[in-house]
Amino acid sequence: MERSIFSAVLCSLLGFFTLGGLASIGFTGSLAPQPPPRPEGDWRLFDPVVYENISIFPVVSSSNGQDTSGFLTLDEGLASGEVVVSERGNEGMVRSRDGAVVIPDYERRTGAAVNQLVLVNRSKRPLLLLSGELVSGGKQDRIIGKDRIVPVGAPPLPLDVFCVEHGRWSNGANFVASKTIVHPSVREKAAVDQKQDDVWSAVRGGTTYEYARAGNAQSAAPPPPPQINARDLSEVMVEAAPTQSYEKIYEVSRVGRSVDNFVREVQARFSQATSHLKGERVVGVVVAYGGEAAWSDIFASGQLFDRYWSKLLRSYAVEAMARPTFREAASRDLAGDFLRRLSGREIQESEPGVYRWREITDGRFAQIELESLDPKPMTIHRLFLHRT
């Protein structure tokens, strides 16, 4: 009997110290491991495709996705002539859908400008623009500043852009489809920071990634050298940029000799890894470099992802080759964080009845969404990134 009473008292004391004691120091959570954050959409993270220092996690969806066939991409529009991009002030190229010349008031007052072009959508489909897409030609190559949608029948649009070609400011060929999107370090500066000097620095330096591993014994050791050397890239920019566009710079032998091989190898592995999907479609990717999850692009449908995949992959490859060549694979948990929704500072811009643009920032993370409002609301593109 006495032994039973002693056991009961001991259990009570243990309960007090383990539960009450923890509560008294402010611990109110569970001791069990917390589940990973739930994806924001109907998404599942697939096993990563790993090559050199890059890991690409396919994001797949079991649903059929949204109907995105009605949207026109920039490359398609420029190639067909249904979309016309011109320097501001070059009114000869700015025409309405019926072919009549349109000279907006702001063009009568001003001439060409580095950070603004004029775009006309003459097609019968809304035009989708993604931040970082390159338009080649004119007085300088430019990239689109923000995701947006240009509706059917819209008047000539003053389009905010950033220069990625330093030195040249002279008449060139008309703007044409380049089938290029700049690599993530440049795209981040355009989409989030929106500063021309930062964009140019990222082009010249190859990447804005900084090697730092605080508290790690390896932090004192120099990182393995990247395949695209920043010094070589800077020299190429000085020599080639006045006469060559962004897309040509990475084809110069000292810089781009291996980019195509890199892309081909990753593409082959990606295709093999996703070829056996049944009842699911790839709608996006999460990208990691050297074990660090850094970037994700997710679209409203697998069909829309397919239309952007080739130039997105090349942009990821350029970034990988400009970063230190750590041979590490990122964990699924880190990649899974890129499917969650941020809760932080939020700003919005919209064109009523056409689109809504939303940016959420939380510390080193940023989430940017482009929502189409017609014919029905849908998130057409979602960008999530860990800022460099």
Cα gap 322→227, rounded to integer Å: 6
The pLDDT confidence band at residue 97, using thresholds 50, 70 and 90, is: very low
The pLDDT confidence band at residue 153, using thresholds 50, 70 and 90, is: very high
Mean pLDDT of 220-227: 82
Cα gap 232→364, rounded to integer Å: 29
Q: What value, to the nearest 5°, has the Cα angle with vertex 191 and ends 144 and 290?
A: 115
Q: Are 323 and 290 in contact (CB under 8 A)?
A: yes
Q: Identify the pLDDT of residue 24.
A: 38
The answer to whether the peptide bond before residue 352 is cis (omega within 30 degrees of 0) is no
Are β-strands 72-73 and 127-129 bridged in parallel, bridged antiparallel, or unpaired? parallel
Residue pLDDT, tens place only, 237-282: 666 655 556 766 667 666 656 788 899 999 999 999 999 988 899 9
Q: Which two tokens stand for residue 186?
A: 């440049």
Q: Which two tokens stand for residue 148?
A: 């947006």
Q: Identify the pLDDT of residue 45.
A: 95
Rounded to two decimals, what is the model's pTM?
A: 0.82
Residue pLDDT, tens place only, 171-194: 666 788 888 899 999 999 999 999
Q: Which residues of 74-99 are buried (b: 16+ CB within 10 A; e: fewer)?
A: bbbbbeeebbbbbbbbbbebbbeeee
Q: Are 326 and 224 in contact (CB under 8 A)?
A: yes
CA atoms within 13 A on the CB side of 89: 11
Cα gap 112→163, rounded to integer Å: 13
Q: Which of 5-19, 28-42, 143-157 has the lowest mean pLDDT?
A: 5-19
Q: Are 61 and 299 in contact (CB under 8 A)?
A: no
